[in-house]
């Protein structure tokens, strides 16, 4: 069966520090991968999505970047965190052409101090 | 106008009550519709897809009205464990088949 792993679960980072969040998927090949952010009390905002290795689309301009070095690995990064980067970061996967919705990882709660 | 709009609630209901949530979407070309459930500080999980003819899964019934661009979720015989945030989700070719989430409706079921 397919599983999605995301880590760490919580993270407290100072302003100006770098960030690297990793997401991996097991049990499927060539998934579509997504990074979402949910600010406190807000809806989910799509940050990046990827349909294949090295293929990244950005939805909103921001202080973050994403990379997909392997088929089932998706990384969210920042060189210098801002206070406004705090939030709940969720990785998700879906299968192209399948109308099954997305499956989310357990998320990383990031607090920038 | 937001692409997906929901009443944020909270809806406070007693156990056993029937409660309904509504959602409207702005893109008439939207193709697929879902309800997700999100528990406090957890990831969203797919509750059910919404089909044009309406569909039911146990105590949960989802309805779609394409003409009015309106989706609903009905929960019968509410349980304490139904307390969560319910997210309305749509997708369309215009969105590149990416899911667009509403901000969610909070449900609190009390004994």
List beta partners, residue A21: A76
Question: Using an 8 Å Cβ cutoff, are A113 and A12 in contact?
Answer: yes
**Which of B34, B98, B102 has the CB atom closest to A43's CB atom?**
B102
Buried/exposed A2-39: b ≥16 CB within 10 Å, e otherwise: eebebeeeebebeeeeebebbbbbeebeebbbbbbbbe
List beta partners, residue A91: A35
Q: How far apart are CA B19 and CA B82, in angstroms?
A: 11
Q: How far apart are CA A64 and CA A48, in angstroms?
A: 9
Q: Which residue of B has its CA nearest to A50?
A: B98
What mean pLDDT comes out for the span B39-51?
A: 93
Task: Tell me if A106 and B42 make a contact (CB, 8 A cut-off).
Answer: yes
| Interface A:B, Cβ pairs < 8 A | 42
Residue A101: per-residue pLDDT: 77
Nearest to B63 by CA among B76, B47, B50: B50
Among A101, A103, A108, pick the best mutation site for testing chain B contact (most B Cβ within 10 A): A101
Size of chain B, expressed as the number of residues it contains: 111
Per-residue pLDDT of chain A (113 residues; tens, 9 = 90+): 778 999 999 999 999 999 999 999 998 888 999 999 998 777 899 999 999 999 999 887 778 999 999 999 999 999 999 999 999 999 999 876 555 678 899 999 999 99
Q: Which residue has the higher pLDDT, B53 or A105?
A: A105
Q: Which of residues 64-83 of A touch B (CB under 8 A)?
A: none
What mean pLDDT comes out for the span B69-96?
A: 91
Residue A97: per-residue pLDDT: 57
Nearest to B70 by CA among B59, B60, B62: B62
Residue B67: per-residue pLDDT: 92
Question: Using an 8 Å Cβ cutoff, are B33 and B16 in contact?
Answer: no
Task: Tell me if A106 and B44 make a contact (CB, 8 A cut-off).
Answer: no
Size of chain A, expressed as the number of residues it contains: 113
pLDDT at B63 over 80: yes
Residue B94: per-residue pLDDT: 66
């Amino acid at each position: 069966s397919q599983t999605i792993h995301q880590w760490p679960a919580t993270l407290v980072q100072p302003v100006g520090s770098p960030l690297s969040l990793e997401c991996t998927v097991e049990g499927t090949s060539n998934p579509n991968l997504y990074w979402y952010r949910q600010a406190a009390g807000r809806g989910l905002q799509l940050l990046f999505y990827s349909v294949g290795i090295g293929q990244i689309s950005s939805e909103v301009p921001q202080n973050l970047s994403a990379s997909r070095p392997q088929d089932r690995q998706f990384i969210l990064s920042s060189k210098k965190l801002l206070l406004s980067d705090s939030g709940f970061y969720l990785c998700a996967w879906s299968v192209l052409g399948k109308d099954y919705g997305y499956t989310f990882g357990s998320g990383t709660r990031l607090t920038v101090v | 106008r937001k692409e997906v709009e929901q009443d944020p609630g909270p809806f406070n209901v007693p156990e056993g009550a029937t409660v309904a949530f509504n959602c409207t979407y702005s893109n008439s070309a939207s193709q697929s519709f879902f309800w997700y459930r999100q528990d406090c500080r957890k990831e969203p999980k797919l509750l059910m897809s919404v089909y044009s003819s309406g569909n039911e899964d146990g105590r949960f019934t989802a309805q779609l009205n394409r003409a009015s661009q309106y989706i609903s979720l009905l929960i019968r015989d509410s349980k304490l464990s139904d307390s969560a945030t319910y997210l309305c989700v749509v997708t369309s070719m215009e969105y590149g088949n990416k899911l667009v989430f509403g901000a969610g409706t909070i449900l609190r079921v009390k004994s």
